[in-house]
Amino acid sequence: METSLPVGEFTCPITFERVRPPHPIVKEEGGISYVVQGDYELAFQTVLRFADASELPIKGKLFGENSQKVVVRDAAGKPAALSGYTQGRSENP
């Protein structure tokens, strides 16, 4: 059995829901700031709207189990970005 899925350019406004929100902990060590968090759950949904007017709804959940990031600062010392990793899993029903 073959299923034909839409392909090509699309737009997709996405919405997130915090099912179990993250609780970030900021740690300072040797002048470096770290952000650590875990045990959180986000749900998301979107509809891929293709140029040919076809649509494909998508829903899922993201489970954050371990996120560790370092705060990147600009020349003035102000936070400019986060760099690091997040481990977890996703479910797409």
Instruction: Tell me the pLDDT tens digit for each residue of 40-81.
Output: 999 999 999 999 999 999 999 999 999 999 999 999 999 999
- Judge residue 35's burial from the number of C-beta atoms within 10 Å of its C-beta, 0-12 exposed, 13-18 middle, 19 or more buried: middle
Collapsing DSSP to helix, strand or coil, 9 comes out as coil
Structure tokens at 11: 């737009």
Beta bridge partners of 57: 47
Q: Tokens representing 36?
A: 């650590």
> How much is the pLDDT for 2?
65
Tokens of 44: 């998301």
Inter-residue contact 51 to 8 (CB < 8 Å): yes
Higher pLDDT, 83 or 7: 83
As a whole-number percent, the residues of the chain with pLDDT over 90 amount to 89
